[in-house]
Structure 1
Amino acid sequence: MTTVPTGGDPATWARRLQLTRAAQWFAGNHGDPYALILRAETDDPTPYEQQVTAHGPLFRSDQLDTWVTGDAALAGEVLTDDRFGWLTRSGHRPAERTLPLAGTALDHGPETRRRLDALTGLGGPVLRTDAEGLRIRVEKSTLALLDGAGADVDLATVARRLTASVLADLLGVPAGRQGRFEETLAAAGRTLDSRLCPQTVAHALATVAATAELAGLLAEASAATQGEPGVGPATDVRADDRVTAGLALAVGTAEPATTLLCNAVRALLDRPAQWALLCADPDLAAAAVEETLRWFPPVRLESRVALEDVTLAGQLVPADGHLVVLVAAANRALLAAGDPDRDGFDLTRPAAPALGLVGVPYLAGAGELIRLVVTTALRALAEAAPTLRPAGPGVRWRRSPVLLGHARLPVTRAGGTPESDDRPATEEATRCES
């Protein structure tokens, strides 16, 4: 598995990232709504997504050489059609030259994906637990993190630490190395965004270094646990496949799970009546997660490549053509078509259709893992901290059009007036752009 670009040097990679950022900026200045989404200057890209869908079911971004859809039917077709994959026919990531240093943890062709998929179900050689065992781990970790955080909590930090600790435990990372695993997994958190949006050079280099270090940590874990009960003898599974599958699972699920939990809590706390419903009936946690997936999905942009010439909505997408699905826009269209009277986030309404949880769909355990972790953590929060409420403005990552990742989400369990959060709301933006 390659973890660094095959040619060039940091100065060359930096220039390419800067030129790609400039191209997206230029296209946005000339009215390309997809480019405005990728510029990621706002916490709510909905207006730009609506501009894309106003062009019809399939929008062509000529300057960025990408087809874009927010149409519900077309999005569902693309995400389930074997004629679309994640890499080009020659095995490269789209725009690999113009977006270097994006990390390679998710760069796998069809044959490798099928092999990894067979390893990542709950109870398999990578995720060595069943659903009940996972719930117990998550609940215990959530309560421990809450107890250690005091009344005022940065939920983004808690969610990130929770997902990392659970993944480290499941993947067999030794206790003495779990702290380092948590740090490197956080450093790799820009991977999904970096595949469509150029990151700062510092973040891009950190992603590459973290991907390599995570692979090393998982190789150590694999060697230490080989032959243990539930893992199987060395002849059952190739050691490098276990490492590759674990790496893809960790990088591909950690930030989406973190984002989903933060999105769910923010949506509920912004609607106090909905939070009260959940606290009165914690069994609604699963419904809250599904509502969040519909209204505030943790992966908003899904990238695909045509593996052959495909005609969509009367337009030819040639082989190796790049297509992006606007997941949130497609979900809104599905909601409007399936339940036109539904006007917002509501735990009491019957389930509405949605595209579901996407991000790393070729790994069998990814979706189930994220749902279980977030549902269990949300239930634990509702039971242990029913007085939870916002404690100041949250801060989203900049250059994060895929995840809209949370840099900071302050909440409190204390009574009285929330303490002022006087750090500037642009802190993360300023730090990222520097």
Structure 2
Amino acid sequence: MINAELCEANRVDAGGDGDDYCHEWMDEAPFGAGTNAYLVQSWVREDRLVLVPNWMYWESGDYNINRHTVSIVTEATTRLLAFTDGEVDFGSINIEDLVNFCDNLEDKPNVQSKAGYICSYRETFTTTLSAFNLHPKALDAGEDNTNTGANSSLILNHDCSDDGVAENDCSVMEVGAVRAAISYAFDYETHRRDTYDNSLAPQYGPIPTGFLYADTQYEVFTYDLAYAEQLLEDAGFIRQYDCSSLSRSGAADVVAEADRDGTECRLPNILGVMANEGNDYRIAMAGQLAEALGTIGVATAGDAKPWAEYLTMYYTRTWDIRFSGWAPDYLDPDNYWSPFAGGYSIGGDAYGTGYENADVNAALLIGRTSQDDATREQAYVDAFEAWILDPNMIIIGQYNGVGVKHDDICSPDWVAIGSAHWFDYDKLPMVN
């Protein structure tokens, strides 16, 4: 639960006429908007969140914990130290650090706990992915890269129209072949096996294993640089630009055909790859993708960003490729398909990709509304077949991994969708 005053004091101003997020109706209830188990007592951006029980939820006063403090710590070693020292009860511990608290990690479903800790294996519906921005922008000159309201302008570096006029009217990211090529430049198996230490199960489309109609998807995208390069070549993106002349949005120098030696770049601008500091897995994936794209003539810039810059890139849309994840709210296949690949026009596009594929949208509307099982199944088949020809994101894998907590923490034996339901936790009293 949150009230209008706290919302207004801390919200991000994204700009525009529809930027009225903190409505007065938040104050109509005694404590503000919402009916959940805990109230937001205080919040400091990029620092901490403090929750206290909502007495309207816990009418009998039978809540387990009287205060939850959630600290936002981007540095993995700092999180590890805080957990090891007992400053926190549980948190985000890197996979490579689990060996300090757990045994038998080579057989994760049968993981064992070391003294003082509880290690447990979870199969989740959380999807790890990398979204593509079809309408990327660049910050205007003089704008602050930590200001989420900074001005930015569309990058127009390709002629997408067939009106007979040779002029740049779109971004190369609007070309399906470019996005498909990027998808084939990602090393799926290495990241599932090594980066995530076998904690990512294969996932070939928006629907994760365990949902209805997951079998309407099959493996299409693999790590195949030769094919990725051929896709670009066939789409007309030949090696012709002087790589040293490339910028985020400026005009590139074209190398005279007689002077080309095969080291030229294929795209006229540098693609911005988005990963956040503190998430070593996203940083590793972004680094691999950037290196692979470089070998086929696609220049990128993708050093890890602190949250202030990361948020600015998101709100100003100054990115081309963004690594992220998703944990849904409902157990329905459309809860993945529509947010992932449905267009904004049908209430989708949660990642702000700007993707609108008429065939995908039409199929998803059928899958969303039909009550006939065979009709729904065919709709998701059709959506997948259209999407693989024109992808708007890389579906990397489904997270199945090990969580750790101190052994005085009692959590429910079920964890819906891999989330931590704090109001179901309890903590054993200390005994001298």
TM tier, smaller: under 0.3
Greater per-residue strand proportion? 2
TM-score, with normalisation over the residues of structure 1?
0.27
TM-score by length of 2: 0.27
Query: Which structure has the highest helix share of the two?
Result: 1
Question: Larger Cα Rg: Structure 1 or Structure 2?
Answer: 2
